[in-house]
């Protein structure tokens, strides 16, 4: 019997092609084992062969999701793999989104067992957790060994069509799937047990977690924008030249509030981006590409908007935790409301 | 951040390139932009053309802010 054929997907960084400056490379294939593929290969054992590694730049994928997915599928198809593995993407947002998208496409369109892996706060998780198996990893490549240890056995189970256990048993992120099983205790008894534990302040595990839809209803539209004060906010790291608050290039711990007084246009002299994880050249050349101060000033002068709010707010969205982002957003929102701002344009990279 | 600003009672429009992420996060008014490293510009264009492009996108965002929505809406 031949070996189990695996095609592996990685981004430009894990393929060893380059960092951000190479993030716009188009899909390509190498008939070799690259980067994390080496650890995966060892984990999967001797019956498995990684026949090809497909690669795509994160920015290219993010900017052209449909085309990139199509191109990658065409390449992957040619190798007739028995199994497809993407990542692990850890907490890299664009990479995680790409891994989820391509894993879903391989599974659904090619009918090949597929899985990926990433950190639970990666935006790829919420996008794809319901459609594919995503192994939970740590938030950085330091968690590679641990990731592979969980990915390899689950991948082989998927290939063999074996029954997949619960998320806790197998190490993947919960998919929102309910499964029936027999248990010794009937429902009423279990419910009373849970209630007693709850009353006693002890830990208990619910059998039906409520979905966590944290949605905010849209506010009413602005009645007359020509009289409105409009503020600009960004997660794209747009800061005054020199990054005075030292906002971190990833996993930001703070946001900045900066005066727009006297700024009518961003230039390489008065603004830059603090954001890691994307090529900063374009933003550093002209920060209006991230935060459109030049256009807002024109619109203000022409009376198309009432006023541009006198401060802008910025943080770096790269790998920044949901908890931090909520904290920043809450503080910024309060500040803007207190200043009487009527509307906000928030830009993201 | 978009959601928290909305929660503070101020209408907010999210201008971003990867729309699926914005939808997942829970933005209500979304305007798709050009590319991740330069959402509101395109270095391939002349400076004038680029600013015109940026202005169009910002005007679309202002339109979005003036449009009543009942749920998540992408302004293509």
| Same-domain status, A146 and A229 | no
The residues in A 276-305 lying below 8 A from B, measured between CB atoms, are: 278-283, 285-286, 288-292, 294-296, 298-299, 304-305
Tokens of A20: 């951000």
In chain B, which residue's Cα lies nearest the Cα of A123? Answer: B21
Burial of A275 (0-12, 13-18, 19+ CB in 10 A): buried
pLDDT category, A182, cuts 50, 70, 90? confident
Q: What is the rounded distance in angstroms from the CA atom of residue A102 to the CA atom of residue A9?
A: 8
- In a domain, residue A280? The reply is yes
Q: pLDDT tier at A211 (50, 70, 90 boundaries)? A: low
| B62 confidence band (pLDDT: 50, 70, 90) | very high
Average pLDDT over residues A137-145: 93
- Residue B1 to residue A329, Cβ atoms within 8 A: yes
Domain boundaries, chain B: 2-74
Residues A160 and A307 in one domain: no
Residue A182: both structure tokens together: 């027999």
Q: Among A130, A148, A170, which residue terminates a domain?
A: A170
Structurally, how many domains does chain A consist of?
2
**A45 and A122 in one domain?**
yes
Quick check: is A235 in a domain?
Answer: yes
Which CATH number fits the domain that encloses residue A130? Answer: 3.40.50.2300
A158 and A19 housed in the same domain: yes
Which residue, A170, A203, A233, sits at the end of a domain? A170
Q: What's residue A210's pLDDT? A: 64
Query: Which chain A residues are within 8 Å of B41, Cβ to Cβ?
Result: 282, 286, 288-289
Task: State whether residue A33 is helix, strand or coil.
Answer: coil
Residue A57: which domain range? 4-170
- Using the Cβ of B67 and the Cβ atoms of chain A, whether some distance falls under 8 Å is answered with yes
CA separation for the pair A49, A216 (Å, rounded): 48
The b-or-e profile of A7-35 (16+ CB within 10 A means b, else e) is bbbbbbbbbebeebebbbbebbebeebbb
Looking at the fold, whether A160 and A230 belong to one and the same domain comes out as: no
pLDDT of residue A286: 96
- The SS3 of residue A325 is helix
Structure confidence at residue A2 (pLDDT): 83
Say whether A298 sits in a helix, a strand or coil: helix
Asked if residue A248 and residue A136 are part of one domain, the reply reads no
pTM, full prediction: 0.71
Phi then psi dihedrals of residue A257, to 5 deg: -120, 120
| C-alpha to C-alpha distance for B30 and A69, rounded to whole angstroms | 23
């Amino acid at each position: 019997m031949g070996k189990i054929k695996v095609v592996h997907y990685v981004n430009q960084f894990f393929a060893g092609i380059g960092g951000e400056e190479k993030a716009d490379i188009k899909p390509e294939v190498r008939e070799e084992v690259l980067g994390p593929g080496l650890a995966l290969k060892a984990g999967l054992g001797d019956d498995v062969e990684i026949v090809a590694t497909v690669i795509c730049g994160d920015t290219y994928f993010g900017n052209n999701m449909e085309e990139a997915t199509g191109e990658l599928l065409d390449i992957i198809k040619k190798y007739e793999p028995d199994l497809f593995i993407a990542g692990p993407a850890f907490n890299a947002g664009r990479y995680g989104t790409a891994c989820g998208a391509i894993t879903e496409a391989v599974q659904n369109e090619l009918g090949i067992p597929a899985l990926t892996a990433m950190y639970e706060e990666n935006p790829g998780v919420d996008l794809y957790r319901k459609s594919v198996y995503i192994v939970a990893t740590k938030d950085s490549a330091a968690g590679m060994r641990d990731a592979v240890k969980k990915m390899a056995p689950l991948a082989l189970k998927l290939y063999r069509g074996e029954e997949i256990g619960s998320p806790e048993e197998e190490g993947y992120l919960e998919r929102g799937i309910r499964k029936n099983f027999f248990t010794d205790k009937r429902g009423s008894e279990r419910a009373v047990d849970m209630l007693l534990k709850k009353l006693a302040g002890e830990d208990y595990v619910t059998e039906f977690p409520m979905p966590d839809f944290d949605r905010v209803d849209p506010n009413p539209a602005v009645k007359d924008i020509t009289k409105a004060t409009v503020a600009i906010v960004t997660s794209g790291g747009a800061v005054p030249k020199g990054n005075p608050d030292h906002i971190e290039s990833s996993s930001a711990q703070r946001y900045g509030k900066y005066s727009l007084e006297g700024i009518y246009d961003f230039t390489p002299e008065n603004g830059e981006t603090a954001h890691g994880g994307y090529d900063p050249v374009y933003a550093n050349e002209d920060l209006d590409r991230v935060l459109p101060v030049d256009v807002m000033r024109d619109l203000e002068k022409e009376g198309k908007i009432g006023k541009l709010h006198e401060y802008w707010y910025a943080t770096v969205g790269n790998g920044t935790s949901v908890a931090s982002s909520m904290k920043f957003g809450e503080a910024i929102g309060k500040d803007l409301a207190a200043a009487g701002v009527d509307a906000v344009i928030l830009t993201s990279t | 951040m978009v959601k928290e600003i909305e929660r503070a009672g101020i209408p907010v429009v999210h201008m971003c390139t990867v729309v699926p992420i914005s939808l997942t996060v829970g933005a209500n008014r979304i305007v798709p932009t050009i590319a991740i490293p330069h959402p509101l510009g395109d270095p391939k264009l002349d400076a004038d053309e680029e600013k015109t492009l940026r202005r169009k996108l910002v005007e679309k965002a202002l339109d979005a802010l003036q449009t009543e929505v009942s749920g998540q809406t992408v302004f293509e």
